[in-house]
Amino acid sequence: MQNEASSSAPLPAASLVIASADDADASEPAVSFPAPPVAALFSDDPAYRNFVACLDYLKAEEVERIEAALEYARRAHLDQTRLSGEPYITHPLAVASVVAGWRMDADAICAALLHDVLEDAGIAKAELAKRFNPAIAELVDGLSKLDKIEFSSYREAQAENFRKMMLAMARDLRVVLIKLADRRHNLHTMSAIRADKRQRIARETLEIYAPIANRLGLHKMFRDLQDTSFHLLHPLRARVLARAMAAFQGDNKELIGRIQNSIRQKIAEAGIHGARVFGREKSLYSLYSKMAHKHRRFAHIQDIYGFRVILPDIPACYLALGALHTLYKPVPGKVKDYIALPKANGYQSLHTTLIGPTGAPLEVQIRTEEMHHVAREGIAAHWLYKDTERGGADLHIRTHKWLHSLLEMQSGDSSEFFENVKIDLFPDEVYVFTPKGHIINLPQGATPVDLAYAIHTDVGNRCIAACINHESAPLRAELKNGDLVEIITAVHAHPNPAWLSYVKTGRARSRIRHFLRTVHNEESAALGERLLNQELIHRGVLPEKVPAAAWEHVIKAGGNHSAREVFIDIGLGKRLAEVVASRLLADDTVAAAPHAGTLIIRGAEGMAIQLAKCCQPIPGDPIVGSIKKGQGLIIHTHDCLVIRKSRSHEPSKWIDVEWEPDPGRLFDVRIGLEIEKTRGTLAQVAAAISQSGSNIENVTMEGDAEKRHSHLNFILQVGSRVHLAQVMKNLRRIPQVVRIHRATAHGE
């Protein structure tokens, strides 16, 4: 795109190697295009000649449509140049060359040529649909940014544009393939862009676009995006590392050749014919990441070079693995079977690490030709090799499942969606088994909660415990390869907000947040209805007697869609019950209206009514409530130091509340004890608390070895102020207890 690219000559089409299922609506009428004078305009351009050469798999009428799109794009960008001074058309032509090299359909190639005309040339989507067809217009729209919408920050705009692209991609995979080709060319042509913007785009590529390429199995694209971004972010480090790699290859050329010959000979001795053996070096960025992660110098990285063995079929792969283990000793625990258990992006290979002739570890990958195609081209193998290969088709199915799972994660705002997808783009997988023998792959560090949501949303929402390898385990336990995991559920269970601190998958995070938002809204609606009804009764009107016309007026005036939304706004503190009641009754004296009566609470209403953590009120304490915007009703004790200033300056924001006579639950409360340092005192204190019918939630100890006394801080669970008094009375009977007091988060 014009504001993201600059530069030099376009990428030669020969070096660009993608095709998509034709998702165009077959029912749309065909558009006839007059043959444009494109060939004459571009005849001397080698990039154009290479592009045309890539179209040999298409029909003549499809090539005509593509040339019409090229001419349309040329005219749309006629007065535009890149920051390097080149005509702007060189960029869409280079992007379309990548797409044509992938053997995508004509609509995709047209969309690649036209991908910037909505954004940079002011062409309307309807115009594209009329001039070409609706399928092309949809693809181009999916690739265009939301430039017409005002965002509060660059990050918000980035998140919303990313959401738009990913949802368009879920509908049509060609969107992201064209976008990756666009990003690759922009990265290769950024010399004229200012340094800060160049680094921002490179960092965004490393965080988002390279992982997407990897998730789609586009390994060549993945490595190219990573290494090019690395050169842009850290040019000096990249140059130094590249020189070190070149020197390593020169110094070890003979050794590498000798190892290759040994592998080739050993495989032949095992009776395997048609093997291809070649060396492979780590990409610069992966090498740099390893050095940074392990804090090692280049000289201390041992697996810089590896080997790849390509064989005719799967049985030969396993036979070759055994042969190589007799040639060099394998490193225990370093054999990975991605043939039986493919990665989420479709990658399949056998990996083994051997101790080479110099004593350094040596990684070998063993795969079939089909697996090699899929490993290099990923989702593109579905089209490039669709006549002879199954791997690409299988990956295509898995990819569509992943894309549609994105639709389940869009219930929150754009930033939340952005973070959830980023989590899913870094999946170092672990494979776990369900009790029925199903294999489920999850990201490294995943927990039983992640597994529960991977099975089904209802299983996740209702899980209460887990058994790992037939033993009870906490829900935050990290799963390991090969674990047999059973999820235990209960009908009335529901997600715990604490799960968000340790789940690893975007799906689990999204489903938990969705549930909590829904529950919060339900509780807020119930609280808002109680507050409004109380206010109406205080004014002498029964809630059911309010006319429907009055409700309709209030709903429309507030921009709501229903009375429930009005209740939610009141419960969340976005609207005042007094104001809503006045508007329902067409009463203009809201400012003079006396405050409604006392609200009765029991402290177990959920997230809509929260007990303040600063003073931890319990039944029996005089209390007061405040509607806090977005959080609901917050309950404090009357003498809470935190609210003293606010109550005197803004008395109208506070609501009189009282405890229900029998709340029927336990409440957390803090107490502090000063005790003498004698053996068995802590045990006596714990016994006294237990005998008083209270639970100990937490205990900490403070003290100096040279002092006679220690200070204990307890968080206890009690039913009321009377219950707390009984607990403290029993503790005072212990001779070693010097002092006891109820504490708050801000002191006594």
Contact between 321 and 307 under an 8 Å Cβ cutoff? The reply is no
For 143-150, the CB contacts below 8 A with 24+ separation are 143/111, 143/115, 143/168, 143/175, 143/178, 143/179, 143/182, 144/115, 144/116, 144/118, 144/119, 145/1, 145/119, 147/119
Catalytic residue among 105, 116, 119, 141: 119
Question: What residue has token string 């672990």?
Answer: 430
d(CA 171, CA 497): 32
Contact indicator for 383, 227 with CB cutoff of 8 Å:
no
> Nearest 5°: phi and psi at 362?
-135, 115
> Exposed/middle/buried for 434, CB within 10 Å: 0-12, 13-18, 19+?
middle
Is 119 assigned a catalytic role?
yes
Identify which of 624, 616, 625, 708 has the alpha carbon closest to the alpha carbon of residue 671. Answer: 616
Q: What is the CA angle 699-689-675, rounded to 5?
A: 60
Among residues 300, 288, 295, the alpha carbon closest in space to that of 230 is found at 288
Which residue in 67, 120, 138, 182 is the catalytic one?
120
Give φ, ψ of 676 to 5 degrees: -80, 145
Give me the DSSP letters along 665-710: S-EEEEEEEEEE--TTHHHHHHHHHHHTT-EEEEEEEEE-TTSSEE
The two tokens of residue 318 are: 């396993």
Structure tokens at 660: 């229900």
Question: Which neighbouring-strand residues pair with 392?
Answer: none
477 vs 432: CA distance, rounded Å: 13
Burial class (CB in 10 A: 0-12, 13-18, 19+), 435: exposed
φ and ψ of 82, to 5 deg? -80, 170
Burial class (CB in 10 A: 0-12, 13-18, 19+), 43: exposed
Give me the amino acid identity at 100.
Answer: A
Strand-pair category, 305-311 with 276-281: antiparallel
- Residue 741 is inside which H or E element, if any? strand 737-743
The DSSP line for 440-484 is EEEETT--HHHHHHHH-HHHHHHEEEEEETTEEE-TTPPP-TT-B
Query: How many Å apart are CA 250 and CA 734, to the nearest integer?
Result: 80
User: What residues have CB less than 8 Å from 632, skipping those under 6 apart?
Assistant: 520, 523, 524, 527, 571, 572, 573, 607, 608, 609, 610
Query: Under a CB-based contact definition with an 8 Å cutoff, are residues 185 and 94 in contact?
Result: yes
From residue 30, alpha-carbon distances to 27, 33, 135, 710 in Å are: 9, 10, 12, 87
Spatial distance between the Cα atoms of 10 and 48, rounded to a whole number of angstroms: 10
- What is the layout of strands, in order, in the sheet containing 471-473? 471-473, 463-468, 485-489
**Which strands, in side-by-side order, build the sheet including 609-611?**
599-601, 654-659, 623-628, 632-637, 609-611
**What does the DSSP 8-state code read for residue 29?**
P
Token pair of 75 as six digits:
């005219």
Catalytic residue set: 119-120
